[in-house]
Structure 1
Amino acid sequence: MGLHKLARELEETARQTAQMVEGITASLQTLGDQSLDCDSARSTAIRQIVMALQMQDRIEQRCADMARAARMMADHPEAASGSADEIWSSLTLDELRDDQLSGVAARARSGEIEFF
């Protein structure tokens, strides 16, 4: 179970990374859109870039948690089969701790921009 979950979470991280790049691409397209006035394009692009940066922060947290889980499984090979749930439940991000939340970013609506 432990390594299968790690594989699923790596796939989800790849999906989130692609989504982040799509956000950056959208901001570049917005800046290049000559049908928009400069102030509007700049304002929209800034929002898109900030959201993409927030996604990067989330991806970095996911990667750090998954690396920690992989190291714990490597240090305790028996955990890779039996007690891997304990390893996953000890992680920081709820979406990694709770299988029902895994991939929740794909279903969540974009909300207000929060500066970190």
Structure 2
Amino acid sequence: MTLNKLARELDETARQSAALVDGITEALELLSSSDAPSAQTRKEVARMIISALQGQDRIEQRCNNMALAVRQFALLPPGTNPAVYDEIWAELVLDELRVPSLTSAGHLSNGDAELF
């Protein structure tokens, strides 16, 4: 179960990485269109880039949390009750953007970007 859970979390992290790249690609396509980007387009591109930065931060935190879990697993003796592994997983926060204290990337509020 533990390795299956880790595999699912790694799959989700890979999915999030792909979504991040898609967002950046879309932002670059908007900026590189043949028409000069309007102020509204530039604002939208900035929002997209900030969202991608949040995604990168989320991925970094997910990886750090999964690494912490694996280090804790490595310290457990053979034959450890599976409930102990489940407890370690339960203590992790893998949805970092829901918990503001776990993400350092900017958030949009009142139309202003605050990156740090």
Q: TM-score range by the shorter chain?
A: 0.7 to 0.9
Q: How does 1:69-88 map to 2 (within 5 A)?
A: 69-78=69-78, 82=82, 83-88=84-89
* Structure with more of its chain in helix, by fraction: 1
CA-based RMSD: 2.4
| Preserved CA contact (<8 Å) 1:30 1:41 | yes
Larger Rg over CA atoms: 2
Q: How many Å separate the matches in 1 of 2:25 and 2:86?
A: 37
| TM-superposed deviation, 1:92 | 3.0
| Preserved CA contact (<8 Å) 2:30 2:37 | no
Unaligned residue ranges in structure 2 (runs of 5+): 97-106
Q: How many Å separate the matches in 2 of 1:63 and 1:37?
A: 36
Q: Structure 2 length normalisation: TM-score?
A: 0.74
Given residue 51 of structure 2, which amino acid in structure 1 is its aligned partner? M
Given residue 54 of structure 2, which amino acid in structure 1 is its aligned partner? Q
Q: Residue 43 of structure 1 corresponds to which residue in structure 2?
A: 43
Q: How many Å separate the matches in 2 of 1:32 and 1:80?
A: 56
| Preserved CA contact (<8 Å) 1:73 1:80 | no
Q: How many Å separate the matches in 2 of 1:80 and 1:14?
A: 30
| Preserved CA contact (<8 Å) 2:31 2:42 | yes
Unaligned residue ranges in structure 1 (runs of 5+): 97-111
